[in-house]
Amino acid sequence: MTAADAALEAVSTTAVLVVALDFDGTLAPLVDDPMTARMTPRARAAVDALAALPATSVALVSGRSLGHLREIAEHDDESPVWLAASHGVQFWIPGAGEEADPDDAADLALRDRLQNEITAAVAHLEGVWIEPKEFGVGVHTRRADADSAREAREIADRLVAAEAPQWRRRTGHDILEFAFRHEGKDSAVSRLRERVGATAVIFAGDDVTDEDALRSLVTGDLGIHVGDRETAATLTVADIDGLVDVLEAVARQRVAHAQ
């Protein structure tokens, strides 16, 4: 048995498991129009199968706002899947719904002003799309050429540095994000672990922002990177289908261990 096989078996047979999964690029292919993203059929089946197992909690952990994440994940009020949206600021809990979180009026006013200022400042750049986020703003450049993408990032960086230098800055696949809340996917995983009393966590992601969560994992957990770049993950898979293979193996081993 290889070290990877041993780690997979150990986490699969733990008493109480959290399976925390990024969405875009991990369960769903990256697309030009972010709101058309959907899980692959195999990924959805694997998520559903794990969520149906006893002592197993599945969570989608995403930078998307809660409303957008629920839409693209086709997540209804009866779903057993936890949601940690906006990089762990917003939570949806099975059986209870959205967990209320206080907002700061001054931060929200600054958010609205910066969203408008950045939108106006990049309006001349073809292919650049500004996403109003619950706790900040996202600058999407997937459909822009290299020069326009660079100019958009420079404009956003300049405006935020001038008006909100304390905001958290994140980069991802063709997106630059700023937020007045500083939670990350690492804090989301920690919160999930505590809420369900998990004895081990699996976390899988493909992007730079997922490294926060991967680096936060402890002995007995399993981190999975989808893709081919440098990562803190224990296990690397080539693509979404490779991740699904792992998730299916976890489900099989948990079923077998319970019998």
Q: Is the pTM of this model over 0.85?
A: no
Report the relative pairing of strands 129-133 and 136-140 from DSSP bridges: antiparallel
pLDDT digits (tens, 9 = 90+) for 52-69: 999 999 999 999 999 999
pLDDT of residue 104: 80
pLDDT digits (tens, 9 = 90+) for 198-223: 999 999 999 998 999 999 999 999 99
Averaged confidence pLDDT in the chain: 94
Phi and psi at residue 199, in whole multiples of 5°?
-95, -10
Query: 3-state class of 94 per DSSP?
Result: coil
* Number of Cβ atoms within 10 Å of the Cβ of 230: 8
Q: Distance of alpha carbon 68 from its chain centroid, rounded?
A: 12
Q: Distance of alpha carbon 73 from its chain centroid, rounded?
A: 12
Which pair of tokens denotes residue 255? 């079923």
Q: Does domain 3-101+184-258 bear CATH number 3.40.50.720?
A: no
pLDDT digits (tens, 9 = 90+) for 100-145: 776 688 999 999 999 999 999 999 999 999 999 889 999 999 999 9
Q: Does domain 105-179 bear CATH number 3.30.70?
A: yes
Domain boundaries, the chain: 3-101+184-258, 105-179
